Amino acid sequence: MSSSTELKVGDSAPDFTATALGGAYGTEGERVQKRDFAGRYVVLYFYPKDDTPGCTIQACGLRDRWPDFQGKDAAVFGVSTDPLTSHREFIAKYGLPFPLLSDEEKRMVQDYGVWVEKNYSGQISMGTERSTFVIDPAGNIAAIFRRVNPQEHAAQVLAALGEKA
């Protein structure tokens, strides 16, 4: 179960502060906050773990469609509970053009309701649900994608931004 009330389209997006790795938006190694991007769209895509099959497909899908994102007034961030060292390796290995945020304290995953109970072959554990939130320029949630299919993710986010922008 998630640790907070489930967010809905139209809700105010929870504030966040996290360290960003990756060069886009001049954020390399900087602490970024929701308010830093007021007036533009923000895409927060939450994923379980760096350099795993589904997460790599998802990240590379965004990378491959990155030129399409450039025409949108949107800042894109990947978010996982992995440490900065893992993010740095993941970015370098796959040439990711967007920043990754490290949420080792699990604040963002809890605030966005994506820290959930998972069942793998009868083994129950807590982990990140692959989910994406599009935040509008006013700071409200414009779109939510839960249990994302990594292969369809980039197209879904671009379509949502096309409808909103």
Rounded CA separation 122/79 (Å): 27
Catalytic annotation, pick one of 7, 20, 55, 158: 55
55 is catalytic: yes
Residue holding tokens 């399409």?
68
Distant-in-sequence contacts of 153-156, Cβ < 8 A, 24+ apart: 153/45, 153/58, 153/61, 153/62, 154/61, 154/62, 154/64, 154/65, 154/68, 155/65, 156/132
On the 0-12 / 13-18 / 19+ scale of CB atoms within 10 A, 165 is middle
Beta carbons of 82 and 50 less than 8 angstroms apart:
yes
Residues with active-site annotation: 55
